[in-house]
Structure 1
Amino acid sequence: MTENQLIVVTGASTGLGAATARELSRQGFHVLAGVRRERDADAIRAAGVEPIILDITVPEQIEALAARVAADPRPLRAVVNNAGIQVNAPVETLPMGEWRRVFEVNLFGHIAVTQALLPALLRSRGRVINISSIGGRIAMPTYGAYAGAKFALEAVSDSLRREVAPLGVDVVVIEPGGVRTEIAGRGIATATDLATRMTPDQKQRYGSLVRAINTLMDTGTASGLTADAAARAVARAVTVRRPRARYPIGRDAAVLLRLARFLPDRMLDRISAANLRRHRPAPAAV
């Protein structure tokens, strides 16, 4: 009976995390939904959705989550590691503090939550669901930090899967393409802000590239899946009897990942460059 099982969803304030929490509660699970602010807790609180204040970079809040799970008699069915940020800038221009922040949220925070909840998952023979991205398999220009953390999350997921599968715990990676959520808009705003801090020489080198990536991100998100549709795919990964190791979500993810599997790197470089040329701003008239 699903109502007798817990699920933890991190990053549940908005977007895919919030939609996943609601979809799993609709299916009868009791969802502990990690949010960072009280106002987000008020927005998501509902029957079957219990908000938990959780910043996955704060050890004390992770410890409190683990204590909440340990005190509950219901088994922990799954942990959905969804929290994340998107920061886009050329490798040369992104400050080291931003590199560390991206990895702290998009990689180390997930590892910390997983470590804290693995004892409960081992007892219940539960499941770890790591929300990656097509950026965890293909790194576009300006996606160095974001894709680097997602590539690392995929590697950690492979290692963990092989460690805990003999113990009865499944580890599943979700690889969404474009999803219509707030993260892309926030990413564009962050990329635009970071671009203003580039030196004049860096703006000459990368200014049009950043604008092209922002346009591509905006159009890709607008044509992507709804958060509710993506959440249903995540819920299937949680509930299916024999999950696959990876689930691409969306037609764009399926196509790009298939291309990456069969095409040489230089061919992918040319395809990426041609795609970006369509989005670069026209040269200013002389």
Structure 2
Amino acid sequence: MTASSETRGLAVVTGASTGMGAATARELARRGFHVLAGVRRDSDGAPLRAAGVEPVILDITDPDHIAALAARVERDPRPLRALVNNAGIPGAGPVEVTPLSQWRRIFEVNLFGHVAVTQALLPALLRGRGRVVNITSLNGKVSMAGYGPYASSKFAMEAVSDALRNELAPHGVQVVVVEPGGVKTEMSRAGIAALGRLDDGMTPEQNARYGALMQAIPSHVAAFTRAGVTAEVAAKTIAKAVTDRRPRTRYTVGAAAALLVRASRILPDRMLDRMTTSDLRRHYPAATRSRTTSAHTA
């Protein structure tokens, strides 16, 4: 991607109402792209318009919205240079107690919606020799107790990205993954609220198994978010993935993501389990910490 193409091309960013998506839309507009930013409501678009971004109403699970976006891209004489698949929802909870309806919703947004948008925009990306940038997560490489539903959807998006990268490389379209760790956005707050509803529906037996874990997850998420980078810092890495002349296949965002992604490549599974469990255990209620320690060292 040349510098001149940055000043005349289109970029699509999904999930741009707030957080990383909004920051990425603004950063790409600052770098000269005409950005179509997917937002949930008209009111979400006002701050983006002020930054020179064109908001479009987009729910990536709605076929009509996706068709309208594709039609908007087709009408534009400028080439489509980048698709940033950023939209996503949280999904914490033990595997046993998370309802299948919630699993399906998480995968609809975090996986199938991105596939649908990519399929719809690929003809334009191929013509423009553009780039697909998929925002996955540290949890797309490292999962742990209580994060199974969300991590599963991100692992799946990593696999889709690998397949797509190899399929499109001969045709001039590059596929890049960005793996954020903690980022200071509102997404964690929504996930904690959903976890509370899940907790209310557990049976006494499930509560005996997972009650301490359910208490630990909100504290763990909050601490991880507080230690994370700002959305603006994350957006600069995403923009780098869009504009680097010879991009890496993967970029991490934040020190925690860099460390744990690297650890996942070299450590045995049991050692990685002990590392992630130890980090999570610090957020357990005090009375259960010693029992958890004994169980994982037996």
* 1:269-280 correspondence to structure 2 within 5 Å: 269-280=273-284
* 1:1-286 correspondence to structure 2 within 5 Å: 1=4, 2-283=6-287
Count of residues in correspondence between the two structures: 284
Shift in Å at residue 251 of structure 1? 0.5
1: CA distance, partners of 2:132 / 2:62: 20
Shift in Å at residue 273 of structure 1? 2.0
Q: Does the 8 Å contact 1:4/1:30 carry over to 2?
A: yes
Letter in 2 for 1:154: E
Q: Does the 8 Å contact 1:29/1:48 carry over to 2?
A: no
Letter in 2 for 1:21: A
1: CA distance, partners of 2:55 / 2:248: 29
Measured against aligned partners, the alpha-carbon deviations of 1:49-90 in whole angstroms (never above 9, x if no partner) come to 000000000000000000000000001110000000001110
Measured against aligned partners, the alpha-carbon deviations of 1:128-179 in whole angstroms (never above 9, x if no partner) come to 0000001001112111111111111000100000000010000000000000
- TM-score (structure 2 length as normaliser): 0.93
2: CA distance, partners of 1:239 / 1:46: 23
Off by >4 Å, runs of 4+ in structure 1: none
2:295 corresponding residue in structure 1: none
Q: Does the 8 Å contact 2:228/2:254 carry over to 1?
A: yes
2: CA distance, partners of 1:276 / 1:178: 15
1: CA distance, partners of 2:176 / 2:279: 31
2: CA distance, partners of 1:25 / 1:46: 11
- TM-score (structure 1 length as normaliser): 0.97
Letter in 2 for 1:29: F
2: CA distance, partners of 1:164 / 1:247: 19
2: CA distance, partners of 1:276 / 1:163: 38
Q: Does the 8 Å contact 1:178/1:224 carry over to 2?
A: yes
Could you tell me which runs of 5 or more consecutive residues in structure 1 were left unpaired when the two chains were aligned.
none
Shift in Å at residue 47 of structure 1? 4.4
Letter in 1 for 2:102: E
2:294 corresponding residue in structure 1: none
Q: Does the 8 Å contact 2:88/2:110 carry over to 1?
A: yes
Q: Does the 8 Å contact 2:145/2:277 carry over to 1?
A: no
1: CA distance, partners of 2:165 / 2:250: 11
Deviates further, 199-208 or 173-182: 199-208
Give SS of 1:80's match: strand
Letter in 2 for 1:9: V
Identical-residue share of aligned pairs (%): 62
Deviates further, 78-87 or 258-267: 258-267
2: CA distance, partners of 1:275 / 1:72: 49
Could you tell me which runs of 5 or more consecutive residues in structure 2 were left unpaired when the two chains were aligned.
289-298
Give SS of 2:37's match: strand
Give SS of 2:88's match: coil
Q: Does the 8 Å contact 1:5/1:75 carry over to 2?
A: yes
1: CA distance, partners of 2:282 / 2:51: 47
Q: Does the 8 Å contact 1:16/1:231 carry over to 2?
A: yes
Compute the RMSD of aligned alpha carbons: 1.1
Give SS of 2:35's match: strand
2: CA distance, partners of 1:76 / 1:46: 22
